[in-house]
Amino acid sequence: MLFPMITKQIKCRHCRSANIIRHGLTANGKQRFLCQDCGRYSRENPQPNGYTEPEREMILRAYDERSSLRGLSRTFGVSRNTVTSWLKKREESAASGSHSGRARPAKA
């Protein structure tokens, strides 16, 4: 194993309870969870792009090491489009805060 599995800490989005159980899938195939405390449903990945900051960091770091989008999507289940958009964002922020004389050529 090259990379540790990402363990997701799922919490109820309504009451923040961790006391939730898997309860089928949503219409678009995401895992759905039922909160046993408030009885309401939560979906996996409530973040807009579906990933938390630490997950994104880890995936981007893996990309730096392997530079394989296909490997990434296999390992993390992340779509290539998602990673590409993160990379673009990262390059933009790197360019805006560029250090003198350390410009990195863009990857082809």
Stretch that binds Zn ion, among 29-37, 48-56, 57-65, 94-102 (CB under 5 A): 29-37
**Of 34-53, which residues contact Zn ion (CB under 5 A)?**
35, 37-38
The footprint of Zn ion on residues 44-103 (CB under 5 A) is: none
Given the complex with Zn ion, which of 31 and 73 has the nearer CB atom?
Answer: 31
Concatenating the DSSP letter of every residue in the chain gives --SPPPPP----TTT--S-EEEEEE-TTS-EEEEETTT--EEES--STTS--HHHHHHHHHHHHHH--HHHHHHHH---HHHHHHHHHHHHHHHHHTPPTT-PPPPP-
Nearer to Zn ion, 42 or 82 (CB): 42
**Residue numbers of the site for Zn ion (CB under 5 A)?**
12, 14-15, 17, 35, 37-38
